[in-house]
Amino acid sequence: MSDRLDFTLQLASAAGRVLRERFLAPREIHAKGWRDFYTDADTAAQQTIVDLIHSHDPQAAILAEEGLTPPLGATSLWVIDPLDGTTNYARRFPTFSVSIAYVEQGQPQVGVVYDPLHERVFSAEHAHGAWLNSDRLQAASTDEIASAIVALDWGRGEQQRAQTLEWLSRTGRECRTTRALGSAALGLSYLAAGWIDVYFHPMLAPWDGAAGQVIAEEAGARLFNFAGARWNYTEPDCIACTPQLTEWARRSIH
C-alpha cells in the first residue's frame, strides 16, 4: 500500500466517524437548489477531511462538494464528497458513503469509498487493484442482461429524469431486477465487488464518481459516457457494467 492510499484511508475513516456519530442526531438541513441540499453532517465531515489534508500539505488543491474549488491549472488535486447520499442520510436511510480520490493529470490515481455504518472500505490504486477491506475485488462475469442486477440513480433535472425513465422502461423489461441506491460512489463500488452488473447515472458531479472510477476500473468493470467512449469522472453521464455486458450497455444508451 502506498503512503497516498494509506493517507486517503485515514481521511475517509475520520470523516466516516463524523457521519456515524451524527447519524441519529437531529438534522440541520439547508437548501442549495432544486432537489439539492446539504446537512450539518456534510459540512462537518468535509471540514474534517480538509483540515487533515492541509495539515499534511497546506498548498493542496481540493475540489469538494460543499463549496471548495481548486486553483485554475491545478494538475494534482483531491476530489471529495464528504457525504454521498445526503437524501438517504437526512432520512436515516442507511445507504451513504464518504468518497475521496486523488487525481493527477485528470485521471484518478487513488480512490476510497467508505460506508461507515457497515464498516465497508472500498479502495483502489491505479495499476494495483481494488479491495473491499482486505479482500481483492473483481467485477462479476455476468454476460446476459436477463441475468443482470441493474442499479441506477436519478439526476435532479427534469430532462435527466425523463432520460432515465426512458432507459429504465426498456432495461427493466430485459434484466433480472433493478435497484436505486442513492449513492453513486457506492453504486460504482458495488459494481467493482460483483454485487451488481450495471450502474447507470445521467447527472454526476465530479466528486460523485472520481473515487468510484478507479475502484470500478481496477476491478475490471467498464465505464462509458452516453456517447459510448470511456468515461471520465468529469463527465455527467455514465453507464458502467461487467466486461461481458459492454456491447449491451453501449446499445442500451442509443
Same structural domain, 114 and 32? yes
Alpha-carbon gap, residue 136 to 153, rounded angstroms:
26
Domain count, the chain: 2
Same structural domain, 183 and 236? yes
- Give pLDDT, residue 27: 76
**Mean pLDDT, residues 200-217 taken together:** 97
- Give pLDDT, residue 254: 82
- Label each residue of 64-122 as H, E or C: ECCCECCCCCCCEEEEEEEEECHHHHHCCCCCCEEEEEEEECCEEEEEEEEECCCCEEE
To the question of pTM greater than 0.85 for the whole model, the response is yes
Distances (CA, A) of 21 to 14, 133, 165, 185, 235: 11, 21, 36, 21, 33
Alpha-carbon gap, residue 139 to 152, rounded angstroms:
17
Same structural domain, 192 and 231? yes
| pLDDT of 35 over the 90 cut | no
Same structural domain, 38 and 111? yes
**Mean pLDDT, residues 177-202 taken together:** 97
Q: How many residues does the chain have?
A: 254
Are the C-beta atoms of residues 109 and 214 closer than 8 Å to each other? yes
Query: Where in the sequence is the domain holding 81, given as residue range(s)?
Result: 3-136
| pLDDT of 177 over the 90 cut | yes
Same structural domain, 13 and 127? yes
**Mean pLDDT, residues 27-52 taken together:** 81
- Give pLDDT, residue 4: 97
Q: Helix 3-22 to helix 40-56 angle, to the nearest 10 degrees? A: 150
- Give pLDDT, residue 65: 84
Alpha-carbon gap, residue 223 to 225, rounded angstroms:
7
CATH at residue 239: 3.40.190.80
Least confident of 36-50, 52-66, 117-131, 198-212: 36-50
The rounded mean pLDDT for the chain is 94
Give the closest residue to 116 by CA, choosing from 181, 19, 215, 193: 19
Same structural domain, 150 and 221? yes
Give the closest residue to 195 by CA, choosing from 142, 252, 129: 142
Q: Which three cell numbers stand for residue 211?
A: 473515487
**Mean pLDDT, residues 76-91 taken together:** 95
- Give pLDDT, residue 248: 98
- Give pLDDT, residue 32: 63
| pLDDT of 71 over the 90 cut | no
- Give pLDDT, residue 33: 56
- Give pLDDT, residue 155: 80
- Give pLDDT, residue 253: 92
**Mean pLDDT, residues 73-93 taken together:** 94
Looking at the chain, the number of H-run helices and the number of E-run strands are 7, 14
| pLDDT of 26 over the 80 cut | no
